[in-house]
Structure 1
Amino acid sequence: MKEKILIVEDEAQIAKVLKIELEFEDYEVDVEYDGKAGLETATSAQYDLILLDVMLPSLSGIEVLRRLRKAEVFTPVILLTARNTTLDKVMGLDQGANDYVTKPFEIEELLARVRSCIRYRSLVEASGTKEAEAELLTISDLTINLETREVLRNNESITLTPKEYDLVVYLLTNKNKIVTREGILTNVWGYEYEGETNVIDVYIRHLRKKVDEGFSTSLIHTVRGVGYMMKEEKHEDHDED
Structure 2
Amino acid sequence: MRVLLVEDDRQLAESLMEALTVQRYAVDVARDGEEGWEYIRAFTYDLVLLDITLPKLDGVNLCQRLRDRGDATPILMLTARDTSLDKVIGLDAGADAYMVKPFNLQELLAQIRALLRRGRSGMSPVLSWHKLQLDPSSYDVTYDRTPIHLTPKEFALMEALLRYGHRVLSRAAILEHVWTWQDAPDKDTIKTYIKNLRSKLKAAGAPNDLIETVHGVGYRLKSRSEEPGQD
When the two structures are superposed, what TM-score results if normalisation uses the length of structure 1? 0.50
Is 1:69–1:96's contact at 8 Å kept on the other side of the alignment?
Answer: yes
Hey, what does 2:80 align to over in structure 1? Answer: 82
* TM-aligned CA distance change 1:82 to 1:124, over 3 Å: farther
Letter in 2 for 1:60: D
Q: Which residue, out of 14, 17, 21, partners 2:15? A: 17
Letter in 2 for 1:102: V
Hey, what does 2:67 align to over in structure 1? Answer: 69
Give ranges in structure 2 of 5+ residues lacking alignment: 126-231
Is 1:8–1:31's contact at 8 Å kept on the other side of the alignment?
Answer: yes
Structure-to-structure mapping, 1:210-229, within 5 angstroms: none
Q: Which residue, out of 98, 101, 104, partners 1:100? A: 98
Q: Which residue, out of 39, 52, 55, partners 2:53? A: 55
Structure-to-structure mapping, 1:1-241, within 5 angstroms: 3-125=1-123
Letter in 2 for 1:108: Q
1:15 is displaced (CA, Å) by 0.3
Letter in 2 for 1:107: L
1:87 is displaced (CA, Å) by 0.9
Letter in 1 for 2:101: K
Looking at structure 2, the residues matched to 93 and 124 of structure 1 have their Cα atoms a distance apart, in angstroms, of 24
Give ranges in structure 1 of 5+ residues lacking alignment: 128-241
> Residue by residue, what CA displacement relative to the aligned partner does 1:121-151 show, whole Å, maximum 9, x if unpaired?
1124459xxxxxxxxxxxxxxxxxxxxxxxx
Letter in 2 for 1:77: I
Looking at structure 2, the residues matched to 66 and 44 of structure 1 have their Cα atoms a distance apart, in angstroms, of 18
Looking at structure 2, the residues matched to 16 and 72 of structure 1 have their Cα atoms a distance apart, in angstroms, of 30
* TM-aligned CA distance change 1:124 to 1:81, over 3 Å: farther
**RCO comparison, higher one (Cα < 8 Å, 6+):** 2
Is 1:43–1:73's contact at 8 Å kept on the other side of the alignment?
Answer: no
Letter in 2 for 1:42: I
Looking at structure 1, the residues matched to 122 and 53 of structure 2 have their Cα atoms a distance apart, in angstroms, of 30
Task: Tell me the C-alpha RMSD between the 2 structures.
Answer: 1.3
Looking at structure 2, the residues matched to 65 and 85 of structure 1 have their Cα atoms a distance apart, in angstroms, of 19
1:43 is displaced (CA, Å) by 2.3
Is 1:43–1:68's contact at 8 Å kept on the other side of the alignment?
Answer: no
Is 1:8–1:51's contact at 8 Å kept on the other side of the alignment?
Answer: yes
Looking at structure 2, the residues matched to 43 and 98 of structure 1 have their Cα atoms a distance apart, in angstroms, of 20
Q: Percent identity?
A: 44
Looking at structure 1, the residues matched to 100 and 61 of structure 2 have their Cα atoms a distance apart, in angstroms, of 18
> Residue by residue, what CA displacement relative to the aligned partner does 1:135-171 show, whole Å, maximum 9, x if unpaired?
xxxxxxxxxxxxxxxxxxxxxxxxxxxxxxxxxxxxx
1:56 is displaced (CA, Å) by 0.1
Looking at structure 1, the residues matched to 22 and 87 of structure 2 have their Cα atoms a distance apart, in angstroms, of 29
